[in-house]
Amino acid sequence: MKRDFKKKYKRTVLGMGWSVLSPLLSLLVMRLVFTRFFGRTTPHYTTFLFCGNLVFSFFNESTSQGMGALVGNAQIFTKVNVPKYLFLFSKIVQCLLNFCLTLCVFFVFCALDHITFTWRFILLLYPIACLVLLNLGLGLILSALNVFFRDMQYLWSVFTQLLMYASAIFYSVDGYSPQVQRMFLANPMYLIIKYFRVIVIDGTLLSWPYHLLMAAEALLAFALGCLMYKKYNHQFLYYV
C-alpha cells in the first residue's frame, strides 16, 4: 500500500492533497453546471450534490484502480507465491483513506450549509461498510476479467459514466412515477447515495427492507468476486 501511495503521487506538487482537491473540483464543476437546472427547488443542493459525488468518486476510484491490481503487480506474484487478492485489498484501502479525508471535508461543508448534526450520522458507517464490500466484490470481478480481457478498462470507463447518470447524483427521483423510482433500487450506488442524503439532509431513518436490500446487493457482488477468484486463481499466471 505504501508503494502504491508513492507511485500515485510521484512528482506531484500537492501530493496527497489531490485526493481531497480532485473530488472538490468535480463538485465545483457539477454545481456550476447543474445548479441552474436542478438545484433551484432542492433544499441544501450543495450538500445534496456532495453526497452523490463523494460516494460515487470512492466507487469509481476503487473499481478503476482495483481493476488493474493483478496486471499491475504481475511481476511480483509470478515470482513470489502470495495471495493475489492482497494487491486488490491494498488498492481498496488506499482509496478508503482518500475517501475518509474527503469525508472530513464533507462534514465541514455540511456545517457551512447549516446542516444539523445528529446522532444518526453514526449510521453512515453502515452504507460505507456496504460500499467497501461492493467495491471489493466488483474489484475482484474486474481485476480477474482484466487479466483475460484487457478491453475491460475501456468498457468499464463507459459503464461508470452511464452509471453516474443513473445514480441520481445531481437530480432527485421524486418527480418520477413510483414504478420508475422502484427501478432505481436495483442500482446499489443509488441506494447508498440516497442513504447518505436521508441521514444528512433529512435527518431521518430508512426502513429495514431498505437496509437489507443494500446489504444484499453488496454481498452478492462480493460473493461473485470471491467465486471468480477461486475458480480462475491458478489461470492468472498464464495470461498476465
Digit-coded pLDDT (tens) for 187-214: 999 999 999 999 999 999 999 999 999 9
Mean pLDDT of 168-188: 91
Residue 199 has a pLDDT of 96
More confident residue, 5 or 172: 172
Mean pLDDT of 134-142: 95
Percent of the chain with pLDDT over 70: 80
Mean pLDDT of 222-230: 91
Ordered by start, the domain boundaries in the chain are 2-238
Report the mean per-residue pLDDT for the chain. 84
Residue 35 has a pLDDT of 60
- Dihedral sign for Cα 49, 55, 57, 63, please: negative
- Cell readout for 195 is 442513504
Residue 42 has a pLDDT of 75
